[in-house]
Amino acid sequence: MSTVKTAISLDEETYQEVERLTRELNVSRSRLVALALEEFLRRHQNQRLLQEINAAYDESSREEDVDLVHATRRHRRRVIEREEG
């Protein structure tokens, strides 16, 4: 996979916390930012998927779908909560 360089601006407090964490985890600043962005994108994707699932099932009025709808919502909510944990 190819990489693209970019520059970001951080407030001083955030920068210092990033520096502390890079030392603690023994990773580069670039790697830490990449990991953080990947995690953010994964969470965002899961939240969007949950919204899409909810929208699709809200359109369903069949009674036999109700249990499946509730189980699916609970499952996706637990996945998101674990990731935010």
Of 42-51, 58-67, 71-80, the poorest mean pLDDT is in 58-67
Using one digit for the tens of pLDDT, what is the confidence trace for 16-42?
999 999 999 999 999 999 999 999 999
Report CA Rg, the chain.
19
Q: How far apart are CA 60 and CA 67, in angstroms?
A: 12
What pLDDT is stored for residue 13 in this prediction?
97
pLDDT, position 60:
57
* Percentage of the residues of the chain whose pLDDT score is greater than 90: 48
